[in-house]
Amino acid sequence: MTGSRTIAGLVVSVACLLAGSAPIVAQPNSDAPPPARAAAPQVFQFALQNGMQVVVIPDHRAPVVTQMLWFKVGGVDDPPGISGLAHFFEHMMFRGTKSLPGDGFALTVSKNGGENNAFTSHDYTAFYEQIAKDRLPLMMRLEADRLANLDLSDDTVGPERDVVMEERRMRVENDPQSLMNEQMAAALHLSHPYGRPVVGWMDELRHIDKLSAQDFYDHHYAPNNAILVIAGDVTPTEVRDLAQTHYGKLRARTLQPRAEFAEPPRLAETRMTVTRPDARVPVFVRTYRVPSYAQARPGVAQALEVYGQVLGGDQTAALYRILVDQKKLATDAGASYDGDARDAGQFSVYAVPRPGVTLEALEKAVDQVMAGFVANEARASDLSRAKTDLVSATIYRRDSQMAMAMSYGRALMIGMTVDDVNAWPARIRAVHAAAVNRAAASLSRRNAVTGYLVPGK
Amino acid sequence: MRTFLAILAIAVCAAVPAMAADIRKLDLGKSAEVWLAEDHTVPIVSFNISMPAGSAYDPAGKAGLAAFTAAMLDEGADNLDSAAFHEALANKAIRFSAGTERDYLVISVSSLTENVPEAMRLLQLALTKPRFDAPAVARVRTQIIQSIQQAEAEPPRVASKAFTRIFFNGHPYGHPSTGDVDSISGITADDMRAFARTHWVRNGIKIAVAGDISAEQAQKLLGSTFQRVSNAAVKPLPAIGRLGAPGVHTIPMNVPQPSAVFGLPGIMRQDPDFIPGYVANYILGGGGFSSRLTQEIRVKRGLTYGISTSMSSYSKAAVMLGSVATRADAIRQTVQVVKDTMADFAKNGPTQQELDDAKTYLTGSFPLAFASNGGTAGQLGAFQRQNLDIGYVARRNALIDAVTLDDVKRVSAKLFDPARLTVVIAGTPAQAGARPRPAPPAAQPPAKPDAAKKP
């Protein structure tokens, strides 16, 4: 129960507007299992005439509402040479409109008792507010205003670019594990923009200016590129009327089509050793390029999800049990599948050696554990526990408006449907030992990057 | 702009969270404080349990004992070794975590309704029959040591650790709650057994429960869970002397982004000035974009990604604490802007508009804390650890609304004295130089001032 499980933190390629609000890393899609009262939550969906999609998730426990406005634009849409523009632009959405200049947006939310923030990933950008339910009309008015009337100026672009550079220093340059993750992603994805950091390369952040920001706004921020998710103390009818009033009047725009990037075949494993004086503990990490939920044939992504859990989801999983508890080679070890992407997903394993154990020996031991899942089927009790964890997470999620809004929003952003989210628990339950076997066998070192983080000058 | 603001001028009604009406006290004996917020919407129950077993109770030379012992809470009990205990939790998807504050060990447990009895059975075993098996102790010890070693390279953690030591000079609040490599290396299983026996007690325990459980069920279940937990009293913590060592203390580190932690003696929670001080702090540095410090340092100057201050009150001391991180050639300037902004605030206080806005935020956002079972249990537990009574939940917004501009000015003048500020910088400040503005796209290769400036 120490903090060391987060040491390898793996790849969180999300950057957000304000410090202190780590992105919620929820299971992407899922829902509720058997107990009668835990039936699927009621989720309503409709579209406005201008193309904006709307999802409503009622929860009447408290007179509170969560609004999330998602845009199908993210780091992959950064123009060549200006990585970080999508994330920078997320920041600029808080820099004022003609009718509500300066920091009016955030200040208005605060003075109305609300919280707000935003985040950007490779595939999407989302803005959200949590507030008393009677403030929802005001929140919609504010969001609609900045979606149509943002007022960009050189006076705000300059300082905000400096803020983003500080964000990069904080999240990446001051953190050896993040630096290695960034290098590994760049190597894993070859030419696909998933290899570019969402927060941007420092030397390219310097190229951001008002023109590039304005161009980005004009071509990506439009009702027909957005999905509105409202969770909380509301009814679908009430949301439909309000959304029609505030967002319905916005005109659809011609969007810049999203590029279809190739994922060139990888012909060989990439290996790297990153030596840093600010790394005090060695770490082994390997990331595999694998199909995402959006790409995978039915059942394949779910099998990778279950494999990630049974291999390294918690202290009861194989990597921890064997490498940490039994062989005493590691102090921590884990694995996870991140299939929440429009293009390639990622499967990651990591381990932290005990003092005196080499990374080479540790890597070999990790490979043995993984080979065991190719050669043999997982134990029934382990498989069952892994599925229980994944499926139960979807019930826990129902305790939080934000977690519910996140899970549906994220799924829709990568091209999944509300039905996919609702069917996820059943699909996870349907994953059999043989499918986990196949998932384990599908991981090829040719499709992987192996990184050693080593303390040193 | 005018028409827009007219709409916004409507005051937020200072609603008391709906759940507050339903919060009731359960009886677990005189030495325990137990609150329940019952709600059956989602089949989940959350518990937030606080015991007088925080890091301030670490004996001399054994810094980190409380946290190390807490880290062993799910590492085996009774006939379950570490692996079996974790499997028992995972088989029922029970979420179990423990954190060590200065005064309290805080245990959070969440469970699906159907598994609550099993969750409480495992909690009881963990509290009353912990094993401290040698392999588990050795493993967790190494995990803690690695975590401490890595923290030594991270400016925010280096600054925070040094600030704590300097600010609480000599008091048990002053050592790092994680301990240090030497003290952790010397802690034995017997030390932990003794600590658990004397500090994992129900004398002074606080329990907040929220979610899908009736008062009758909760009363019965908690009664049997804690029946076997010792009711011995914990030896009180020593009184504290002078807080802080005004000035700037620098810990050199070659990093791209130094961190600064700064603080002042705060206001004790039971002091009537705490609420005005809390409101004042929100306006100066607690309120995200609306705070003076964020406006001056992030919005106007682009010097940081985040700056914030907070008001913390422990049982023996209170502190106003802030932190900021910026590039090496801007850290001195940033600390100066903090001091200047603070001095101006102490002298002139906020405007009436700032005070009004702070109140509508602080009162209007209060219900957000009660929108989930996990959130409700956590918020109630935090109130319990401040020794507030159950009626405080209903009273709280009225107390904030009653704060006047004179209150805030008076308390700010006393509280925010930059001359008393203790500042710790982790990182090596560099001379501020002419930093080239970004070149227009593609015009020329961008300069690399940061790489060039490293000493």
Task: Summarize pLDDT for B106-160 with one digit per residue, the tens.
Answer: 999 999 999 999 999 999 999 999 999 999 999 999 999 999 999 999 999 999 9
Which residues, listed in sequence order, are joined to residue B24 by a DSSP beta bridge?
B36
Nearest CA in chain B to A41: B42
How far is it, in rounded angstroms, from Cα B81 to Cα B314? 35
CB atoms within 10 A of CB B455: 9
Q: Is A367 in the same domain as A303? A: yes
How far is it, in rounded angstroms, from Cα B295 to Cα B301? 8
Instruction: Inspect the interface and report whether the beta carbons of B367 and A355 lie closer than 8 Å.
Output: no
Q: Is A444 in the same domain as A338? A: yes
Residue among A2, A115, A355 whose CB faces B140 most closely: A2
Q: What are the CA-CA distances from residue A34 to residues A37, A395, A425 (Å)?
A: 8, 11, 10
**Within-domain flag for A235:** yes
Looking at chain B from residue 147 to 166, which residues have their Cβ under 8 Å from any Cβ of chain A?
A: 147, 149-150, 152-155
Q: Is the pLDDT of residue B363 over 70?
A: yes
Q: What does the angle CA B239 – CA B242 – CA B243 come to, to the nearest 5 degrees? A: 100
- What's the confidence (pLDDT) of residue A22? 33
For chain A, what is the mean pLDDT?
92
> Cβ(A403)–Cβ(A397) under 8 Å?
yes
Q: Is A402 in the same domain as A340? A: yes
Q: Which residue has tokens 């709600």?
A: B39
* ipTM for the assembly: 0.89
pLDDT digits 0-9 by tens, A402-456: 999 999 999 999 999 999 999 999 999 999 999 999 999 999 999 999 999 999 9
Q: Is the pLDDT of residue A35 over 50?
A: no
Could you tell me what percent of chain B has a pLDDT over 70?
90
Q: Is A352 in the same domain as A440? A: yes
Nearest CA in chain B to A58: B41
The crossing angle, in degrees rounded to 10, of helices A136-148 and A236-246 is 40
- What's the confidence (pLDDT) of residue B290? 85
For residue B336, count CB atoms less than 10 angstroms from its CB and return exposed for 0-12, middle for 13-18, buried for 19 or more. Answer: exposed
Q: Is the pLDDT of residue A4 over 60?
A: no
Number of folded domains in chain A? 2
- Give the catalytic positions of A in this structure: 90
Q: Which residue has tokens 């705000």?
A: A156
- Out of B44-48, B341-345, B361-365, pick the least confident: B361-365
> Cβ(B384)–Cβ(B11) under 8 Å?
no
Looking at chain B from residue 92 to 111, which residues have their Cβ under 8 Å from any Cβ of chain A?
A: 92-93, 95, 97-98, 110
Q: Which residue has tokens 């700032």?
A: B354
Q: How confident is the model at residue B20 (pLDDT cuts 50, 70, 90)?
A: low
Residue-by-residue DSSP string for B218-255: HHHHHHHHHTTS--PPPPPPPP-------EEEEE----
Domain boundary among A246, A280, A312: A246
Which residues, listed in sequence order, are joined to residue B108 by a DSSP beta bridge?
B48, B97
- The count of residues in chain B is 455
Q: Is the pLDDT of residue A89 over 80?
A: yes
pLDDT digits 0-9 by tens, B260-284: 999 999 999 999 999 999 999 999 9
How far is it, in rounded angstroms, from Cα B131 to Cα B193? 8
Q: How confident is the model at residue B19 (pLDDT cuts 50, 70, 90)?
A: low
Strands B247-251 and B422-426: parallel
Which residues, listed in sequence order, are joined to residue B206 by a DSSP beta bridge?
B33, B50
Q: Is A162 in the same domain as A79? A: yes
What CATH code is carried by the domain that includes residue A214? 3.30.830.10
What mean pLDDT do residues A38-53 have? 88
What mean pLDDT do residues B21-38 have? 92
Q: How confident is the model at residue A41 (pLDDT cuts 50, 70, 90)?
A: confident
Q: What does the angle CA A423 – CA A429 – CA A430 come to, to the nearest 5 degrees? A: 90
Q: Is A70 in the same domain as A214? A: yes
Q: Is A278 in the same domain as A375? A: yes
- What's the confidence (pLDDT) of residue B7? 37
**Within-domain flag for A335:** yes
Q: How far does the CA of residue B242 sit from the closest CA of chain A (Å)?
A: 31
Question: Residue A94: which region, alpha, beta or left (left: phi > 0; alpha: psi -120 to 50)?
Answer: alpha
**Within-domain flag for A4:** no
Domains along chain B with CATH numbers: 21-226 (3.30.830.10), 247-426 (3.30.830.10)
> Cβ(A119)–Cβ(A126) under 8 Å?
yes
- Out of A5-9, A117-121, B36-40, pick the least confident: A5-9
Q: Which domain holds residue A154?
A: 41-246
How far is it, in rounded angstroms, from Cα B159 to Cα A174? 14
Which candidate, A133, B81, B146, places its Cα nearest to that of B154? B146
Q: How confident is the model at residue B170 (pLDDT cuts 50, 70, 90)?
A: confident
